[in-house]
Chains A and B, each alone.
Chain A
Amino acid sequence: MPPPDRRAFLLQTGKLLVLTASAAAAWDYVMAGEPEKTPDYDAAAHWWAMVIDVERCIGCGLCVRACKTENHVSLEPDCFRTWVERYEIDPDDPDHPHVTSPNGGYDGFPPVTNEGVKTFFVPKLCNQCADSPCVQVCPVGATFQTPDGVVLVDKDYCLGCRYCVQACPYGCRYIDPETHTADKCTLCYHRITRGLKPACVEICPTGARSLGDLKDPNDPIHEFLRTHKVHVLKPQMATHPKTFYNGLDGAVR
């Protein structure tokens, strides 16, 4: 057998590499198929939004507890998918509201009875921005917007780099102390795709929270948005949030 020719060898190897790679890519494409779907759920037919009626919130903290239970959120400090803030605004110093949220409102609030001070509760959660900064900054595509408008985290793909935690103007993200990956409100994606309400909406005793489908013309959310003066948080950030607040005070950030 003659000694192998270098040129022939390179040629053969090159051909082999090209063929293997293209065959593999083609095989992948054939095998991947359509992603598995929840039966009877067409993501493209929905565009989920939340309505928070600030004037109904009583600061009971049931939503915070229900959220943690439903989604197995860590009980360690600063791990919240939703939390409640209490504002206390002294009319003599309206530019410096006193905002408290002891353990996110998980254990309720120590009562205040100070007359002459403007006080109210504001529930907070992911605003499910249509143009969300957290999706834009993710270097690996581990956070994304679903076809039905929910911003989710792919926990198996997340590096835990925390860019998104810094990017969110609303402070809605945290790092899961167990997996060390980013986490946030999913709008209870496992529930809404099965026709249930998110846990916080289900549990709210005063109806301060409601889920709406902006793509469903019969959803009461359209009537609500038309007949109420709603606002979103930090509209100047151009994130186009889909969490609408009714009766929001200008002091809320």
Chain B
Amino acid sequence: MARFSSYEHLLRLAALFAVGIALFAGLRWLLVPADYGLIGPYRASALTQNQAHPIVYAGRLACIDCHSDVADVLKANAHARVGCESCHGALAAHAADPGVTAMRPDVRTTCAICHVPDTAKPAGFKTVNFAEHAGAESCSSCHQPHAPRP
């Protein structure tokens, strides 16, 4: 034991280390958010924040809830795949409160979004030169958007 009689310098060193560690722990507590690292190397609440974003497009199922008659017409024809909100616009507000008026799309503009000719479009996709085909006539004079044939 006599060999270790002068150990005070070790205590001082230990105290210095302790202060250093405490400083590190204190600063880390101050600077790192509380939920950092709970799931991975990021703030866990960032997940919830991303999830909290409001929904703008209600989705086809929400539309069918009330408008199942239109869905039945659509089912059997070329527009069966087309989402309701592709033509009618974002309608989450309307789905949440039917008092909010849904937009009635302008037929010719809406049809043209897809059906203007372009060689880059897939081979089987139906396109038409609107001016030659119909002049100034509205598309819906002959074609029903929910059942587009003939």
Residues of chain B lying within 8 A (CB to CB) of residue A36: 45, 48
Name the residue on A nearest B57 (C-beta).
A199
Q: How far is the CB of B91 from chain A (nearest CB, A)?
A: 11
Interface-facing stretch out of B98-106, B115-123, B131-139: B115-123
- Bits for B12-38, please: 1 = Cβ < 8 Å to A, else 0: 000100110111011001000111101
Give the distance in Å from the alpha carbon of A25 to the alpha carbon of B19 in the complex. Answer: 16
* Contact call A35/B48, Cβ cutoff below 8 A: yes
Range of interface residues on A (Cβ < 8 Å):
35 or more
Name the residue on A nearest B92 (C-beta).
A70
Contact A32:B119 (CB < 8 A) given known A190-B51, A199-B57, A205-B86? no
B29-59 contacts to A (CB < 8 Å): 29, 33-36, 38-57, 59
Interface assignment of A156: CB less than 8 Å from any CB of chain B: yes
Q: How far is the CB of B36 from chain A (nearest CB, A)?
A: 7
- Bits for A99-113, please: 1 = Cβ < 8 Å to B, else 0: 000000000110111
Interface assignment of B2: CB less than 8 Å from any CB of chain A: no
Interface assignment of B72: CB less than 8 Å from any CB of chain A: no
* Contact call A111/B117, Cβ cutoff below 8 A: yes
* Contact call B42/A112, Cβ cutoff below 8 A: no
Interface assignment of A144: CB less than 8 Å from any CB of chain B: yes
B78-116 contacts to A (CB < 8 Å): 79, 81-83, 85-86, 90, 113-114, 116
Give the distance in Å from the alpha carbon of A206 to the alpha carbon of B125 in the complex. Answer: 9
* Contact call B26/A35, Cβ cutoff below 8 A: no
Residues of chain B lying within 8 A (CB to CB) of residue A108: 113, 116
Interface assignment of B75: CB less than 8 Å from any CB of chain A: no
* Contact call B114/A154, Cβ cutoff below 8 A: no
Give the distance in Å from the alpha carbon of A248 to the alpha carbon of B98 in the complex. Answer: 42
Residues of chain B lying within 8 A (CB to CB) of residue A113: 117-119
* Contact call A59/B50, Cβ cutoff below 8 A: no
Show the binding face of B for A, using Cβ within 8 Å: 15, 18-19, 21-23, 25-26, 29, 33-36, 38-57, 59-60, 79, 81-83, 85-86, 90, 113-114, 116-122, 125
Show the binding face of A for B, using Cβ within 8 Å: 10-11, 13-14, 17-18, 20-22, 24-25, 28, 31-32, 34-38, 43, 55-62, 66, 69-71, 86-88, 108-109, 111-115, 117, 119-121, 141-147, 152-157, 186, 189-191, 193-194, 196-197, 199, 202-207
